[in-house]
Structure 1
Amino acid sequence: MTAPISPGALIIGRLKDGRARLGGISTYQLADRLAAMTGGGTKLSANVLQNLEAGRRQQAVTVEEMLLLSLALGVPPEFFLAPPEGDRVQLAPAVVIDSEAFLAWVRGRQPLPLTDSTQYEQVSAEVLGDTGSTTNADLKSEFLRNAAGMLDDFLADSDQIIRQTRGQVRDLLQDLRTAVDGETSREDLLKTIDSYLARLPAS
């Protein structure tokens, strides 16, 4: 099992990932973006970014810096707090959380064992718009999944019905051909036709 990572290390790892997602832009290009957005008012120069990624900067990434990086990279701020699948995050010496629980906690969907769940859920509902419960996006996603499954089942059933119908029509035509080619009486021929009509559902 790999060692847990700190929140700071998580943010730095995501910084590298964010640059890669933009076609592998350099720290110089990212620094230029940051400078253009802030009118040169940011301390996140290329040298600072390089020190951050190399672990040479002792000061942790501030909230303001994380938001600026999110803006420059075109990603939601939550991106920097989303651990890679399978990783664990160490919030405190005795608090280590798996990636799924950590992200659910960040999103306001699930409290951590050490927190007051009632307080957590109340604040999530009041401040974050009840993200602790199922969101409209979740409902839409679930609806689309269910609808797709129902459509697949319907199409599968339709194919089966079509095959059965074709078989029945083939049998009917074969019987009629046999009756017409043979010496079947008119009365027997009508009985054959009536027997197939009886199989059809009422409209």
Structure 2
Amino acid sequence: MKDADDSSAPFEKVTNSQVETKTVPEMTVGDLKDILSDSQRDVAPQINNDFERKLAERLYVEMKMFDESIDVNKLITRAAEQADFERAWLAYAQDRYGIVVTDEEVDVWIENGPDAEIVELQRRYAEAKEMSVYELNHGYDRDQYMKWVVWEKLIPIITERYGESSEQVLDNNRLIELYEDEVKGTL
């Protein structure tokens, strides 16, 4: 079973107790630039794959934001494992369930979601990365949003697949868990 902090999950699963204890600290553009610079210096040169480097950067930033200690070798391993899982997650959706999304579908989803209501931390993060929020959403973070679009198409399929045989209520977290168990079975 995945815990709420498992970064391979397509979406953050948060319990009520976590909402009370895990609030995002205020970070200035300068703070974020420093963190990103440290990541570029300490982590990025050790990773050849662009996607793994992006995932490692996200992990690094999150860990720094929450003052977690960072073991660079473990972070790099975790990013590589997460990249493998992310690729398998999407491939399984296509191969097993025929789920394919277009660039246009992803763009529309982003326009109606993250573009429609910009969060201040998102704006500062984009500025720290020296890009617009649009570039952050439609380029850098596109992989995350593509998963949301795929997931929205998977929800009814996974619900139907497990609904009748489940003794549990199939909330979103449980559906994610069931789907990810299927994906893990292919790794």
**TM norm. shorter chain > 0.5:** no
Q: Which has the larger radius of gyration?
A: 1
Q: TM-score, normalised by structure 1?
A: 0.23
Q: TM-score, normalised by structure 2?
A: 0.24
Relative contact order, CA 8 A, sep 6+: which one is greater? 2
